[in-house]
């Protein structure tokens, strides 16, 4: 197979399938806790099915095989022919991993590797209900093999698949009724002319085909063929409502069979041939009148969700209300809105200076102010994504970890619907995974140990997110052993990070923060899960890059809670504008803790470093003019300046600036490639008077200048 | 006969390659330089350039170009010339080099000239060592020498490396 396939189709598939796979991992773990949930089983079945369909259309046979295996298992499950067990889930999750791996290969435009044959075999075994007779199964399997071979042979897999089925279908028709092949043949022709509508034709035909199969072999085997049909429907990216209708339709046919099916078959086969453009219509119409009948027969079939969905099915599917937009385009819009905000700021400051003279003007500007604010808000919202995107992966992470560590852990999640900026969602994923793994690995004790302490065997990890003003609070809480401040101090002393005296003076909270130091690990034994001591400092760095902060609260024996605070968005930054030697700089407000007047009487030089006493604490003091001007005069000091005290982790530092301008929300403009990576500079922004202000990256500035 | 043949051949080649190029000329110190007009985005009057602490020497700073932040390079330093005062004629030429927009500070901008390719000679060893490497040719117009600058070489690979090392 080559990748001559339409790149656009491939892209669509990749996007769609990525979403489904993400959902699947979540749903699978959910299923383990709720194995009887038919809706869930159906949803998972459909998920695998859709991916398989798309993969089949693109002729990615390796992916098709794996999905097909998993899908079969779920078909058996949803038909109640097998129950969900942990072992089964292990296999399914393994299959999902394989699919994910294959999917990743496809994303990299590589030919995906075929799945482990052992896995496929296991899947196949699991998909066999006890009641099923072997010959029928074998026949069905053969059928599938044919289809798959066909899809491998040609890029235009769909048509081939259809043809085969149609041949079969026609053969069956012949067999049953001795009728001519007219309808079938014209349908094929139709399909080739109007690729957009042909799947609709197929739907009907397939359903009938299935009904025929049912008639011939009994309903036990129907699922396999049903999958195939759905595969085709999906490959044309159909909406869910169609599937449901299909299922129902199938059920109808199943239930009705024996009752004058032959005439219906003919009618249906002809209809699409006559009106391919309106092909969609016949289906709901036909489904609607027949509803009353299957409802009686429902309990026998798998459509647990039918009652709920049924009323929705007959009316034509509602038009799509969402549009996929490239994030790049959104970024562009965001950028332009940023411009607008800046222009507005400028106008605002102009109108302020120009008292009553232009009353009309200032009215208009006030209006502009409101509209711009709204526009900015709406555009921001388009970039928002629920944190669920990140949280969704945790059930799986926790489950796998708990199983491998032989711990019993219950994961609770709150506030999954909390929205935050897309970039933030992505940036938070890794740190959060790390912290959750830590909680599971280090926090929660072994079940026996917990029991001995009088706690429930099952540990609890709680993940929650909530919005607080313009910030998002994330919390990862466990009811495990908690952190031992003394032990942390001992380790720090042993590693030479800390001396005895400092340790003795250190508060518990400061001691907890020791885990953020590079190379610090409390675990004596390093596991593959955590304990290498490289993680926490990375987490910390990542979070501060997002202008966020992280805090630890812990009680020995009761548990630990990690609190992460991040801004809602990365695009707009609240800053404190300051002036240093006639140049404007913006300090991110998140790090500024207070502003005081400089009083040289309160300064001391300790070990060559100028320090300022702030509420009995000595903090290092730096003159920004020494760092941020071209030819600094190191000996000269502006002793009438203001001190901006910033908080970096637990460390407070004072910066002397010449003047304070005020607080301003700014849009961050990245620096040119030429200047990217300039130490201490996070970017630039346009000030309300049209000038330029550099945004200071405080940690990076300290790192670069303070050591000199 | 054979040599004549070769000559006409060469002549023909030159003719077919002899496209007319447009050059924006600017003044630095006493010399006139030209940049391909296709690389010039616009010419701005001098506006306040915000210096960027910690940036390399040859970066003067950044300016606000209708909401975009553009880096301005000190062309004089680049060309190994002494500093000069900002005058009314001082211009910032916004150019696109290697898909990146940068500004160069020049003493003044004069005009757009049309040059046939055949009018461009390879560079003699003009100017200083510093500037020689990004000069792609010279052209003699009315007894005045026009130095044609290859903007893509304004910054060398080593300098790019140097910049990335700073981070």
The domain spanning residue A43 has which CATH number?
A: 1.20.120.160
Subunit contact B69:A692, Cβ cutoff 8 A = yes
Residues of chain B whose beta carbon is less than 8 angstroms from a beta carbon of chain A are: 48, 50-55, 59, 62-64, 66-71, 73, 100-102, 155, 163-164, 166-167
Angstrom distance (rounded) from CA A408 to CA A391 = 20
Angstrom distance (rounded) from CA A345 to CA A615 = 37
Task: Write out the two tokens for A518.
Answer: 């590079």
User: CA nearest A583 in B: which residue?
Assistant: B50
CB-CB contact of A18 with A47 (8 Å): no
Residues 6+ apart with CB under 8 A from A560: A439, A443, A477, A478, A480, A482, A483, A552, A553, A554
pLDDT of A260 above 50: no
| Closest approach of A49 to chain B, Cα-based (Å) | 45
A439: DSSP letter: I
Q: Which of A513, A538, A567 is the last residue of a domain?
A: A567
Same domain membership, residue A528 and residue A418: yes
Q: Which residues of A touch B70 (CB under 8 A)?
A: 672
Phi, psi of A449 (to 5 degrees): -60, -40
Mean pLDDT of A216-239: 45
* ipTM of the modeled complex: 0.72
Same domain membership, residue A578 and residue A588: yes
Instruction: Give me the domain span that covers residue A338.
Output: 327-383
Same domain membership, residue A486 and residue A429: yes
pLDDT class of A483 with cuts at 50, 70, 90? confident
Same domain membership, residue A660 and residue A534: no
Angstrom distance (rounded) from CA A625 to CA A204 = 77
pLDDT tens-digit readout, A373-430:
888 788 877 878 888 878 888 888 888 888 888 888 888 888 888 888 877 888 888 8
| Closest approach of A624 to chain B, Cα-based (Å) | 11
Residues of chain B with pLDDT under 70: 1-17, 67, 98-99, 123-133, 153-167
pLDDT tens-digit readout, A72-120:
888 888 777 777 777 778 888 888 888 888 888 887 777 777 777 788 8
Same domain membership, residue A250 and residue A144: yes
Subunit contact B167:A679, Cβ cutoff 8 A = yes
- Decide which of A271 and A552 is more confident: A552
Angstrom distance (rounded) from CA A203 to CA A283 = 8
Task: Write out the two tokens for A23.
Answer: 């959902």
In a domain, A523, yes or no: yes
Rounded to the nearest integer, the mean pLDDT of chain A is: 70
Q: Tell me how many residue pairs between chain A and chain B have CB atoms under 8 A apart.
A: 86
Subunit contact A673:B100, Cβ cutoff 8 A = yes
Interface probe, candidates A691, A692, A698, A703, chain B, greatest B C-beta count within 10 A:
A692
pLDDT tens-digit readout, A150-192:
444 444 434 444 444 555 555 555 555 544 444 444 444 444 4
pLDDT tens-digit readout, A297-324:
444 444 444 444 444 444 565 666 777 7
Give A57-119 as a DSSP string. Answer: HTT-HHHHHHHHHHHHHHHHHHTTSS---HHHHHHHHHHHHHHHHHHHHHHTT-PPPPPPHHH
Residue B22 has a pLDDT of 87
pLDDT of A510 above 50: yes
| Closest approach of B54 to chain A, Cα-based (Å) | 6
Same domain membership, residue A624 and residue A548: no
Angstrom distance (rounded) from CA A599 to CA B35 = 55
Q: Which residues of B touch A678 (CB under 8 A)?
A: 52-55, 166-167
pLDDT of A243 above 60: no
CB-CB contact of A708 with B80 (8 Å): no
The CA–CA distances, whole Å, from A214 to A172, A211, A674 equal: 12, 5, 69
Report the percent of chain A where pLDDT is more than 70: 67
pLDDT tens-digit readout, A444-462:
888 888 888 888 888 888 9
Structural domains of chain B sorted by starting position, each given as residue range(s) with its CATH number in brackets: 21-166 (2.40.50.180)
pLDDT of A4 above 60: no
Which one of A1-5, A309-313, A595-599, A601-605 scores highest in mean pLDDT? A595-599
| Closest approach of A628 to chain B, Cα-based (Å) | 5
Same domain membership, residue A309 and residue A365: no
Residue A275 has a pLDDT of 43
Q: Which of A277, A296, A316 is the last residue of a domain?
A: A316
Measure CA of the first residue to CA of the last residue in chain A; give whole Å.
Answer: 60
Look at strands A692-696 and B20-28 and give their pairing: unpaired
């Amino acid at each position: 197979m080559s990748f001559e396939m339409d790149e656009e189709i491939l892209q669509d598939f990749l996007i769609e399938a990525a979403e489904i796979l993400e959902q699947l991992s979540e749903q699978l773990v959910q299923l383990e806790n709720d194995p009887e949930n038919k809706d869930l089983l159906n949803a998972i079945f459909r998920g695998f099915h859709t991916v398989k369909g798309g993969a089949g259309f693109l002729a990615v046979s390796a992916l098709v095989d794996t999905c097909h295996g998993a899908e079969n298992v779920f078909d058996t499950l949803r038909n109640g022919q097998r129950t969900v067990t942990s072992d089964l889930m292990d296999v399914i999750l393994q299959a999902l991993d394989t699919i994910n791996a294959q999917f990743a290969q496809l994303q990299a435009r590589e030919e995906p590797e075929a799945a482990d044959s052992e896995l496929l075999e296991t899947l196949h075994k699991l998909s066999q209900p006890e009641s099923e007779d072997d010959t029928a199964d074998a026949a069905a399997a053969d059928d599938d093999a044919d289809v798959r071979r066909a899809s491998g042979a040609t890029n235009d897999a769909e048509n081939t698949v259809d043809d085969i089925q149609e041949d079969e279908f026609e053969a069956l028709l012949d067999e049953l009724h001795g009728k001519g092949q007219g309808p079938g043949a014209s349908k094929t022709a139709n399909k080739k002319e109007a690729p957009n509508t042909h799947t609709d034709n197929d739907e009907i035909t397939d359903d009938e085909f299935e009904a025929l199969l049912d008639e011939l072999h009994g309903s036990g085997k129907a699922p396999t063929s049903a999958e195939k049909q759905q595969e085709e429907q999906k490959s044309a990216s159909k909406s869910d409502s169609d599937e449901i209708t299909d299922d129902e339709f199938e059920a109808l046919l199943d239930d009705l069979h024996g009752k004058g099916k032959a005439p219906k078959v003919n009618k249906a086969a002809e209809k699409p041939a006559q009106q391919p453009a309106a092909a969609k219509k016949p289906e709901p119409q036909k489904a609607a009148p027949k509803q009353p009948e299957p409802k009686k027969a429902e309990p026998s079939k798998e459509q647990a969700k039918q009652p709920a969905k049924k009323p929705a099915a007959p009316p034509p599917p509602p038009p799509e209300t969402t549009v996929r937009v490239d994030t790049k385009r959104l970024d562009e819009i965001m950028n332009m809105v940023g411009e607008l905000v800046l222009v507005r700021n400028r106008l605002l400051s102009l109108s302020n200076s120009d008292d009553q003279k232009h009353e009309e003007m200032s009215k208009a500007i006030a209006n502009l102010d409101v509209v711009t604010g709204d526009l900015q808000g709406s555009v921001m919202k388009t970039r928002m994504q629920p944190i669920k995107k990140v949280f969704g992966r945790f059930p799986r992470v926790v489950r796998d970890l708990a199983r491998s560590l032989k711990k019993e852990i219950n994961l609770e999640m709150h506030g999954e619907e909390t929205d935050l900026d897309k970039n933030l969602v992505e940036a938070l994923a890794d740190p959060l995974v790390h912290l959750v793994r830590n909680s599971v690995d280090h926090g929660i004790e072994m079940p026996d140990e917990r029991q001995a302490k009088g706690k429930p065997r099952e540990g609890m990890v709680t993940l929650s997110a909530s919005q607080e003003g313009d910030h998002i609070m994330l919390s990862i809480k466990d009811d495990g052993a908690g952190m031992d401040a003394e032990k942390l101090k001992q380790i720090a002393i042993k590693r030479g990070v800390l001396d005895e005296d400092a340790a003795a003076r250190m508060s518990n909270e400061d001691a907890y923060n020791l885990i953020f130091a590079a190379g610090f690990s409390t675990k004596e034994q390093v596991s593959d899960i955590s304990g290498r001591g490289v993680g926490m400092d990375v987490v910390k760095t990542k979070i501060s890059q997002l202008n966020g902060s992280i805090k630890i609260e812990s009680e020995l024996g009761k548990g630990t809670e990690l609190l992460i605070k991040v801004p809602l968005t990365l695009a707009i930054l609240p800053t404190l504008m300051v002036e240093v030697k006639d140049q404007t700089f913006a300090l991110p407000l998140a790090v500024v803790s207070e502003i005081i007047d400089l009083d040289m009487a309160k300064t001391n030089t300790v070990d060559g470093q100028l320090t300022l006493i702030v509420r009995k604490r000595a903090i290092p003091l730096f003159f920004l003019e020494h760092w941020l001007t071209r030819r600094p005069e190191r000996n000269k000091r502006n002793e009438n300046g203001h001190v901006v005290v910033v908080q970096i982790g637990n460390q407070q530092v004072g910066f002397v600036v010449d003047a304070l301008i005020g607080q301003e929300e700014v849009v961050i403009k990245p620096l040119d490639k030429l200047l990217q990576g300039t130490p201490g500079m996070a970017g630039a922004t346009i000030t309300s008077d049209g000038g330029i202000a550099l945004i200071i990256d405080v940690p990076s500035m300290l790192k670069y200048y303070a050591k000199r | 006969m054979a040599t004549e043949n070769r000559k006409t051949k060469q002549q023909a080649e030159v003719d077919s390659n002899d496209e007319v190029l447009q050059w924006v000329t600017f003044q630095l110190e006493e010399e006139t330089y030209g940049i391909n007009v296709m690389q010039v985005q616009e010419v701005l009057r001098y506006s306040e350039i915000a210096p960027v602490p910690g940036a390399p020497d040859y970066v003067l700073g950044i300016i606000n170009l209708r909401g975009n932040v553009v880096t301005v390079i000190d062309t004089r330093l680049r060309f190994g010339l002494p500093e000069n005062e900002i005058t009314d004629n001082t211009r910032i030429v916004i150019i696109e080099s290697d898909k990146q927009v940068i500004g160069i500070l020049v003493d003044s901008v004069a005009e757009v000239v049309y040059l046939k390719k055949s009018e461009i000679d390879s560079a003699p060893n003009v100017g200083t060592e510093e500037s020689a490497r990004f000069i792609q040719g010279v052209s003699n117009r009315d007894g005045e020498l026009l130095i044609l600058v290859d903007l893509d070489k304004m910054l060398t690979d080593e300098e790019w490396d140097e910049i990335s090392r700073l981070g």
